[in-house]
A and B are shown apart, each in its own frame.
Chain A
Amino acid sequence: MTTVIPLDEYISEEWYPGFTPAFDHAPFYVEPFQTFTKEDEKRFWFLDFHWPRGLTPLALIWNEDGYAWGTQSAAENLPLPPGRGLSVRIAGVHTYASPIDIESGFEIGERAGRMGPYLGNFIANFDEIWADRRDEVERSWQHLLSMDPSSMSLPELSAMLKEARVFHKRAFEIHFEVMYPLLVNYLGFFGWCAEAGIDTSQIGKFLQGYDTKIMETDRELWNLTRAAKADGLANLFAKTRAEELNAALSADPAAASFVQKFKDFLKVYGYRTEGACDVALPSWIEDPTPALGMIKSFLEKDEEHDFEAARAAAIAEREEAIAAARAGLSAEEQVAFDAGVASCQSANFPWWQDDHNYYIDLRVSLPLRWAAMAIAERVGADNPEDGIYLFWPEIIAVADGEKSYEEFRDLVAQRRVYFNESRAMRSKMPKVLGTIPEAVADPVLIEIFGLNEHFLNAIKAAGSDSDVRTLTGLPASKGKARGIARVFNDADELHRLTPGDILVCESTSPNWTPAFAKIAACVCDGGGMLSHAAIVGREYGVPTVTAVGLATVVISDGDEIEVDGDTGTVTVYKRANAEA
């Protein structure tokens, strides 16, 4: 029997109060980003975990230029044989996506024929290709970073905003152009291993232990933690709330040396938002609370996270896992296996999944944000962030002097209310909408979003048992831990995690990485073997269970739970608000 989750209540032509786009609103590649129509009920839509807050009007540029255009253009250009990328919708301010599958076996075959030579070349030259793309992103980034919005005229800001959008769009063309072939290579190797009888839960280990820009950032945070301790600031950190730390440190002469070190740190690592691809999020440069909050909680830990030891252990585990897998293969198979390991290590998907966030996801929205805020300030908005409550045609019209900001002042206030109301609905948003398939074929959806059969069944069975004590999911990182559950809907309060807590969330993003140095375990509603939580969980040796389905619904903040990363089970031992 087909399960259909109706989407009637989300059908609307209006994207936000006061904005219904014209037909030619924006170019699109295969399918435009838009709101839901009744027709969409026939397709399978999943709630994307990357934006647990929801997206403001200007942030929806990501859905147009990144999510829809980026995946579709990459999928068409490679081409990716089985699909044309992802189609994107919003329900309220929350993003849903659906794979655009190709039905014709003939067409898939033709596309595979076209992709073959490209893939071989891509894998063989991955280092160079990724270095070239990084250089390209870096060039544009430096160009935009060199601008000083505070000293620019409105026409100049308009021009900057347009360049920022071009940069943002191009960055995501690159993102998916690189991600798809890496994933294809990885999944081909995965299939080979499964057929050769290798325990597939070991495959992630073959590729672990390679340093990324994100791990580098975490190490620097620990260096700062050490500096804070050496400078006798532990007490200041302990008694000051994270939000007030920046002011407190600046005011304390004893912290001068630390403050300088922290500034130097921010110059390199501070162009980073607390979430991926969202103009609504400030960078650490603008608001260092998250970074200082991390240092604060690191100081609370009795022991330092030993990065060298963790990395050495990850490498040792990698080599052991490879040796163990090799031992079970025939001499002929070992030749192919070695080639596969070498291929996937040099064009390393799990590694790239973390590394690229530094260059793309966590920073490329910033120039758009800065230009929009400067424009808002210049036209007399109540708050610079009001700029991100305007849609693209609106802010361009305002910046170019074609419309007065006064036309939008009240609307922006309404939209802020609308955003906050819809954001508050997040935990009640259906995880999936439309027609739920028996199984999902798209490897991206399975391996990254964790939309495996178990997840789909958990969703279908939802509501049938209100006092579920044991949950199951994908055993993503081994080990067992018991502790207090901290259920987070987004990363805003992440710095309030205390060591030994168990993180329970929809899914983690790169900005959540530092939290893994202090949590005892991690549980996610979504996420496959290649999701961020799975990869980072393995790197940090944190027991992790993903694709649980409804962990954030069933587990309440403060519950005492146990996570078994070997079996994929999560047990609730003690309810925080036990009624009986």
Chain B
Amino acid sequence: MHVLWIDGVEPGEAIRLSGSKMGRLAELATTGTKVPLAFAVTVEAFNEHFQSTGLDDAIEFELRGIDLTDHVGLEVVADRIRGRIVSTQMSQELADQIVDAYEELCDKASDLNIPTAVRSSATGEDGSDSSFAGIFDTFLGVSGSPRVLEAVRACWASLFSPRAIAYRARHGISHHQMPMAVGVVELVHARASGVAFSIHPVSGKRDRVVIESSWGWGEAVVQGLVTPDHFEVGKADRRILKRNINDKKVVSAFDFSAGHVTETNMPERLRLRSSLDDEQIAAITHAVLAIEDHYGYPVDIEWVLDRHRREGEPIAIVQTRPVTVVEDVAPVAYDPMALANKFIFSKGR
């Protein structure tokens, strides 16, 4: 099976077949969370394509005896591998299947040539996304069959960035052990987007939800190109605890002439305006807590506020991951001596 609709797969199977990113989205879809229409170009498709076209052998050859300390050499090899992946045509059968699925996606969305997000969805041990966070490419606003095919190949190629190659070599992992599926996801028309955490990602406080948000698509937020608005919401009473409206100078917007999402200057009137209202904050909080509840551990999510969304409707979730980086901190009762020990008597030690 080369193409898999995420609403048509057993959650148990989803990650194995479509990588962790798409697998988790498939699992989310079964919990009643609103996720965009999406299909995955499967791990199987990747494996077959790389074998049948001779890409595997070529890559094997390129990586033989690679010197990780030679950064320039590594760069050159990575470029060569990626160039080869990008220029290697798919079999007609695979290409047809992807194009058919894309057209079906357009039909389901009742439009022609709908823009999509084409996302890398690597496999490997669970949580492999976290080690490779942000390293694999996502292409936003890809529209029309030829561009979708191109983006799928580009996602595959991102498995061979110098950083990914070096990481695998250092950990003795072959790229065969982490084949890459690719998700083709309906691009939600974003009024605002961002991330949300069901635990404070820095302090580890688990009594709150943290939301970061900016106008437009989420790339600028995820890549750290913009200082997003920052909200904190108490879990117990869903009260907004913090509301930092920042100067958002850059926006990820859809460039119709180029056919993709790109970064541009934020219009003056939006820079200092809050990108979310209280109802929207509540909806995001509701979504991230439902997901945390489903998994039973703290999660982060990428969310998109559809410009057609009406009050009371759910927020679209495009990605979720476990939060692994922090030690969670439960609030404790006021204890003067414990506080004195912590803040006064341990200074300089």
Binding site for B on A (CB under 8 A): 81-82, 105, 108, 112, 115-116, 119-120, 123, 184-185, 187-192, 194-195, 197, 327-333, 335-337, 339-340, 343, 439, 441, 443
Contact between chains at A82 and B345 (CB < 8 Å): yes
Known A195-B343, A331-B236, A336-B331; further 12 A-B contacts with Cβ < 8 A? A81-B340, A81-B345, A82-B347, A112-B337, A112-B341, A188-B336, A188-B340, A189-B334, A189-B339, A191-B339, A194-B343, A330-B208
Q: Main secondary structure on chain B at its contact with chain A?
A: loop
Q: A192–B349 Cα gap in the complex (Å)?
A: 19
Beta-carbon nearest neighbor of B243 in chain A: A328
Contact between chains at A336 and B342 (CB < 8 Å): no
B235 at interface, CB cutoff 8 A: yes
Q: Main secondary structure on chain A at its contact with chain B?
A: helix
Instruction: List 12 A-B residue pairs with CB atoms under 8 Å apart, sorted by A's residue number.
Output: A81-B340, A82-B347, A115-B340, A119-B336, A184-B336, A187-B340, A191-B344, A192-B339, A328-B241, A330-B207, A330-B208, A332-B331
B237 at interface, CB cutoff 8 A: yes
B239 at interface, CB cutoff 8 A: yes
Contact of B331 among A112, A123, A335 (CB under 8 A): A335
Beta-carbon nearest neighbor of B207 in chain A: A330
- Which has the most chain A C-beta neighbours within 10 Å: B207, B330, B336, B345? B336
Interface residues of B in 193-214 (CB under 8 A from A): 203, 205, 207-208
**B236 surroundings in chain A (CB, below 8 A):** 330-332
Contact between chains at A332 and B341 (CB < 8 Å): no
Beta-carbon nearest neighbor of A347 in chain B: B336
Contact between chains at A184 and B344 (CB < 8 Å): yes
**B234 surroundings in chain A (CB, below 8 A):** 329-331
Q: A10–B50 Cα gap in the complex (Å)?
A: 84
The answer to whether A339 and B345 touch (CB under 8 A), given A187-B340, A331-B236, is no
The answer to whether A184 and B331 touch (CB under 8 A), given A108-B345, A330-B234, A441-B347, is no
**A439 surroundings in chain B (CB, below 8 A):** 348
B333 at interface, CB cutoff 8 A: yes
The answer to whether A120 and B336 touch (CB under 8 A), given A330-B236, A332-B207, is yes
B133 at interface, CB cutoff 8 A: no
Contact between chains at B347 and A81 (CB < 8 Å): no
Contact between chains at A112 and B340 (CB < 8 Å): yes
Q: A329–B334 Cα gap in the complex (Å)?
A: 14
Q: A333–B239 Cα gap in the complex (Å)?
A: 13
**B241 surroundings in chain A (CB, below 8 A):** 327-330
Contact between chains at B334 and A343 (CB < 8 Å): yes
Contact of B337 among A82, A115, A191, A332 (CB under 8 A): A115
Question: What distance in Å separates the Cβ of B241 from its nearest Cβ neighbour in chain A?
Answer: 5
Interface size, chain B (Cβ < 8 Å): 29
**A112 surroundings in chain B (CB, below 8 A):** 337, 340-341, 345
Q: A184–B342 Cα gap in the complex (Å)?
A: 11
Beta-carbon nearest neighbor of A333 in chain B: B331
- Which has the most chain A C-beta neighbours within 10 Å: B333, B343, B344? B344
B325 at interface, CB cutoff 8 A: no
B176 at interface, CB cutoff 8 A: no
Contact of A105 among B207, B330, B344, B349 (CB under 8 A): B349
Q: A469–B342 Cα gap in the complex (Å)?
A: 40
Q: Can you list the 6 inter-chain pairs with the closest CB atoms, starting with the nearest?
A: A191-B343, A188-B339, A339-B334, A332-B331, A331-B236, A330-B234
Contact between chains at A123 and B207 (CB < 8 Å): no
Question: What distance in Å separates the Cβ of B340 from its nearest Cβ neighbour in chain A?
Answer: 4
- Which has the most chain A C-beta neighbours within 10 Å: B207, B239, B334, B341? B334
Interface residues of B in 308-349 (CB under 8 A from A): 330-334, 336-345, 347-349
**B338 surroundings in chain A (CB, below 8 A):** 188
Q: A414–B341 Cα gap in the complex (Å)?
A: 50
Beta-carbon nearest neighbor of B347 in chain A: A441
Contact between chains at A336 and B242 (CB < 8 Å): no
**B345 surroundings in chain A (CB, below 8 A):** 81-82, 108, 112
Contact between chains at A331 and B337 (CB < 8 Å): no
**A337 surroundings in chain B (CB, below 8 A):** 334
Contact of A188 among B203, B208, B332, B343 (CB under 8 A): B343
Contact between chains at A443 and B334 (CB < 8 Å): no
**B344 surroundings in chain A (CB, below 8 A):** 82, 184, 187-188, 191, 443
**B339 surroundings in chain A (CB, below 8 A):** 188-189, 191-192
Q: A354–B193 Cα gap in the complex (Å)?
A: 53
The answer to whether A190 and B207 touch (CB under 8 A), given A332-B331, A339-B334, A340-B334, is no
Contact between chains at A192 and B334 (CB < 8 Å): yes
Beta-carbon nearest neighbor of A190 in chain B: B343
**B347 surroundings in chain A (CB, below 8 A):** 82, 441
Q: A189–B330 Cα gap in the complex (Å)?
A: 18
Contact between chains at A336 and B333 (CB < 8 Å): yes
Q: A195–B207 Cα gap in the complex (Å)?
A: 14
Contact between chains at B343 and A187 (CB < 8 Å): yes
**A343 surroundings in chain B (CB, below 8 A):** 334, 336
Beta-carbon nearest neighbor of B332 in chain A: A336
Contact between chains at B340 and A339 (CB < 8 Å): no
Q: A195–B332 Cα gap in the complex (Å)?
A: 13
Contact between chains at A330 and B331 (CB < 8 Å): yes
Contact between chains at B336 and A336 (CB < 8 Å): no
Q: A340–B336 Cα gap in the complex (Å)?
A: 8
**B203 surroundings in chain A (CB, below 8 A):** 195
**B331 surroundings in chain A (CB, below 8 A):** 330, 332-333, 335-336
Q: A343–B348 Cα gap in the complex (Å)?
A: 27
B233-261 interface bits toward A, Cβ cutoff 8 Å, 1 = contact, 0 = none: 01111010110000000000000000000
